[in-house]
Structure 1
Amino acid sequence: MLNSLGSNHTPLDAAIIDLDGTMVDTLGDFAEALNRMLRDLALPALAAARIEPMVGKGSEHLLRSVLQHVLGQAGQAPTAVEVEALYPRAWERYQHHYLAINGQYARLYPGVAEGLQALKGAGLRLACLTNKPTAFALPLLRAKGLDGFFEHVFGGDAFERKKPDPLPLLKTCAALGTAPARTLMVGDSSNDAQAARAAGCPVVLTTYGYNHGQPVTAVDADGWVDSLMQLVPASVAEDIQ
């Protein structure tokens, strides 16, 4: 994949890797923490399959989407005022529960650690950029043994705006000291692709993960992979196996 990107783009110096849905399947964590929060608020539980399309735009968006859906189950759409009235308590309980279970109901996607090692073996500098709050992202990376791969880890609260805005990618490129055109964005959703396009970064998306319930291959990207191992030349991948 890096070879094919190199034939169409400026050579790459670095890669920015998304977290949820790209490296770690965190849907189990989301469902557990959200349902514990809903129980605290005396609200009905929500199935993981219903939560999945809401993932990817940051915890604040996820929480508001869940509240909107649960409050609307009675048949009448809740007002923004009703959602916001519950939000502070919901956010406090969600943070409490998420930090308590962070990583316990999550799993690495196959080939992630090997793919990251191979990317470093190919000479790329790595940063993790996620819409997940930094206080959630850092412990999760440590729990899954991934923190040592990255020079920088930036959460959704690290900058003034989140993906799909290009600002986080541009700030991450600046932290790495690399040009956007020479920095690959690897993600799982239209958020990652839109941010990369606007920032001037090439972008590759995983075929698994969370794309708001839409087929990821319909998103404008430079390529798609079934595993992070597919990003690196076969010769590099063979060296680490």
Structure 2
Amino acid sequence: MQFPFRPGMVLIDLDGTLVDSVPDLTFCVDEMMARLGRPPRGEPAVRQWVGNGVERLVVRALTGQLDGEPDAADFERALPIFLELYAENTATRSVLYPGVREGLDLLRARGYRLGCVTNKAGRFTEPLLKAVGIRDTFELVVSGDALPEKKPSPLPLLHAAKHFGVEPTAALMLGDSVSDVRAARAAGFGIICVSYGYNHGDDIRTAEPDAVIDALTELDDLLADPRG
């Protein structure tokens, strides 16, 4: 299979697409819960909860479920604890997924212009990208607090398209979640998803992206060389 057009740029999500950050997030969640005098949640639960920013992760950790709202006072107490912990543990245990470095090298070798668009706050995004050694891969990084809205809003994607001078219909998003698919569709982008990421336990195929891959190295067959 070949993707139906040659993207003028490729935007890539961070958590769940490039980096498995759940080990660090789990450590912070469980330590936060301990400081609050509550039992740990564990990695299997955290894997179901990530993907919508740290505030939602803290909410889910407090309630023990994907939806619902905790006591406001509990949240106000818990969030600063988590933020302090995560600032110290942004990339202690997080790792690139298999094939990510090779896939990024492939895209760069083919001349694609690359950007990273994530819902993670900038104070965590930049240190994580640098720690795993891929910050210099991206011409542009749009973090979750860089604009008034984040994914699934199309705003971050359209902002990046304007930055690169590329029409949305000639742009591609790589992600792992329904949030990425919704943002891409709303922006008019093409969307390819990885099968291994964070989508609250649901198969990403149900969101109907244009293609699903098991590793970024599969882009070698999907995407044409933009230089012809």
Instruction: Say yes or no: TM over 0.5.
Output: yes
CA deviations over 1:161-189 (Å, ceiling 9, x no partner): 12111111111212222111111100001
Q: Do 1:25 and 1:109's aligned partners in 2 also have CA atoms closer than 8 Å?
A: yes
Q: What is the Cα deviation at residue 232 of structure 1?
A: 2.4
Question: Secondary structure of the equivalent of 1:185?
Answer: strand
Aligned to 1:146: 134
Asked whether 1:158 is paired with 2:143, we answer: no
Q: Give the AA of the match of 1:225.
A: I
For residue 200 of structure 1, the aligned residue among 163, 180, 188 is 188
Q: Do 1:13 and 1:123's aligned partners in 2 also have CA atoms closer than 8 Å?
A: no
Aligned to 1:53: 48
Q: Greater share of helix residues, 1 or 2?
A: 1
Question: Secondary structure of the equivalent of 2:114?
Answer: strand
Structure showing greater radius of gyration is: 1
Runs of 4+ in 1 over 4 A off after TM superposition: 233-237
CA deviations over 1:67-90 (Å, ceiling 9, x no partner): 1228xxxxxx98x4x522122221
Following the alignment from structure 2 to structure 1, what is the Cα–Cα distance between the partners of residues 147 and 77?
A: 24
Q: What is the Cα deviation at residue 233 of structure 1?
A: 4.2
Q: Do 1:121 and 1:236's aligned partners in 2 also have CA atoms closer than 8 Å?
A: no
Asked whether 1:22 is paired with 2:17, we answer: yes
Aligned to 1:134: 122
Aligned to 1:213: 201
Q: Do 1:205 and 1:224's aligned partners in 2 also have CA atoms closer than 8 Å?
A: yes
CA deviations over 1:115-161 (Å, ceiling 9, x no partner): 11111111111111111111111101100001010011111111111
Q: Give the AA of the match of 1:214.
A: D
Aligned to 1:104: 92
Q: What is the Cα deviation at residue 226 of structure 1?
A: 0.9
Pairwise CA RMSD: 2.1
CA deviations over 1:53-106 (Å, ceiling 9, x no partner): 111111111111111228xxxxxx98x4x5221222211111111111111111
Aligned to 1:43: 38
* Cα distance change, pair 181–63 in 1 and its aligned pair in 2 (3 A): same
For residue 12 of structure 1, the aligned residue among 7, 13, 28 is 7
More divergent stretch after superposition (172-181 vs 55-64) = 172-181
More divergent stretch after superposition (86-95 vs 142-151) = 86-95
Q: Give the AA of the match of 1:103.
A: A
Q: What is the Cα deviation at residue 202 of structure 1?
A: 0.1
Following the alignment from structure 1 to structure 2, what is the Cα–Cα distance between the partners of residues 197 and 17?
A: 15
Aligned to 1:74: none
**Identical pairs, percent:** 37
Following the alignment from structure 1 to structure 2, what is the Cα–Cα distance between the partners of residues 61 and 23?
A: 21
For residue 69 of structure 1, the aligned residue among 52, 64, 68 is 64
For residue 110 of structure 2, the aligned residue among 109, 113, 122 is 122
Question: Secondary structure of the equivalent of 1:208?
Answer: coil
- Stretches of structure 2 that go unaligned for 5 or more consecutive residues are none
Aligned to 2:212: 224
- Stretches of structure 1 that go unaligned for 5 or more consecutive residues are 71-76
Q: Give the AA of the match of 1:125.
A: R
For residue 31 of structure 1, the aligned residue among 17, 20, 26 is 26
For residue 170 of structure 1, the aligned residue among 149, 158, 170 is 158
Question: Secondary structure of the equivalent of 2:141?
Answer: strand
- TM-score, with structure 2 as normaliser: 0.92
